[in-house]
Amino acid sequence: MGNRNAPSMTGMDRAGPVRGLPARYFTDPGIHEQIKQKVYFTTWQFACHASQVSRPGDFLAFPLFEQDILVVRSRDGLRAMFNVCQHRGHKLVEGQGSRSRITCPYHAWTYDLEGRLVGAPNSGCVEGFDAGCIRIPQIRVEEFLGFVFVNLDHEAPTMEQCYPGVAEAALELCPDMECRKFAHEHAADEGCNWLTAVENYNECYHCKVAHAEFAKGVIDPDSYRIAPFGGGKVLRHTSLATQGPDAWYDVAGSDYGSFFLWPATAIQIYPGGLLNTYHWRPLAVDDVRVHRGWYSADGQVDDTLRRVIDLDRDTTFSEDLELVKNVQRGLGSLGYRPGPLILDPDGGIDNELSIAVLHQWLRQAVD
Ligand code: FES
Ligand SMILES: [Fe+2]
């Protein structure tokens, strides 16, 4: 029977149409825990933009589930480590900033930027106390297209191996991507499972229905496509820029593209090279924080970028918040049975082939 999880190009298998995932994948705390261990803790997670940690001593802290993580620019390059003191477990730093040493706020144990313990008050009185043996456990970190990613799995393949071809294709759309600087971020708690939000991002079947402004102000809906890309766990979104009179800004002569990197990052280029990202960090089985980042050549938000950020936040972004919260409630309904996915072998915007692909990747990881 082959892989019964594989989306067929006709949308049919012997049991009838391919359907959405059972609701438990979006609502069950036990499955959510498995997803944490088998998906989030073994894949590359968006940390920040490299320009946010550009000088030695710069750091940025963020949570991944219950794990606190710290990205630091040390003298020998970029590092990531657990944001936890090796004395009695206090969190070392909050937010972002710059310092030459990392000192725990509890009892002032002090670490260098490589995570080695270099001072602990009155530790000289402890026979056998060997500061040289104490170091904050390190985490895999990579810079990719100017973004910083971390991976809790020391055995994981590199980003280039996980997402082959993405760097080249993204640079074609946005040649100066690696030189961009962080310009702006906003975030929101979506009140839904992370996969509800990621599914919503990765299909445009709802775009003409729910995103009227995006569909006429940024993209050309008739040319919008989403397809697996490069042989990795990547969904590439492509579209011409809007052709109509309602463009949000001057989009002439360039295309739209996005690269969704499983499980929870999208690197998106609006026409004209307006670089932006989404990344999603789960807060609970039924809540996820979505972060929306924007990047410019000089780190400034000029008038065009300001206009696009505001329009995007007030339309597409806000519209999706309502949709996904509503769907999450429905996934908890006793009256919900997953319906057939719209798998159109001819491609096109009114298509959920990408949803079937996401379900396949998830089931490979946790079933
Ligand atoms: S817990 Fe950090 S110094 Fe005590
Ligand atoms: Fe949407």
| 117 Cβ inside 6 Å of ligand 1 | no
Q: What are phi and psi of 176, to 5 degrees?
A: -100, 20
| 87 Cβ inside 6 Å of ligand 1 | yes
Question: Ligand 1 centroid vs 279 CA: distance in angstroms?
Answer: 32
Contacts of 14 (CB under 8 A, 6+ apart): 1
| 88 Cβ inside 6 Å of ligand 1 | yes
Pocket test for ligand 1, best of 68, 83, 88 (most atoms within 8 A of CB): 88
Q: Alpha carbon 50 to chain centroid distance?
A: 15
User: Residue 89 CA: which ligand 1 atom is closest?
Assistant: 1
Domain 45-151 indexed as CATH 2.40.37.10:
no
What local confidence, expressed as pLDDT, does residue 7 receive? Answer: 52
By the 8 A CB rule, do 194 and 264 touch? yes
pLDDT band of 223, cuts 50, 70, 90: very high
End-to-end Cα separation, the chain, in angstroms:
18
Q: What is the pTM of this model?
A: 0.95
Taking residue 296's Cβ as centre, other Cβ atoms within 10 Å add up to 18
Q: What mean pLDDT do residues 250-275 have?
A: 94
Domain boundaries, the chain: 45-151, 160-366
Which of 3.90.380.10, 3.20.20.70, 3.30.2010.10, 3.20.20.80 would CATH assign to domain 160-366?
3.90.380.10
What are the tens digits of pLDDT across the range 65-122?
A: 999 999 999 999 999 999 999 999 999 999 999 999 999 999 999 999 999 999 999 9
Question: Ligand 1 centroid vs 99 CA: distance in angstroms?
Answer: 18
Question: Ligand 1 centroid vs 112 CA: distance in angstroms?
Answer: 15
231 pLDDT higher than 50: yes
User: Residue 108 CA: which ligand 1 atom is closest?
Assistant: 3
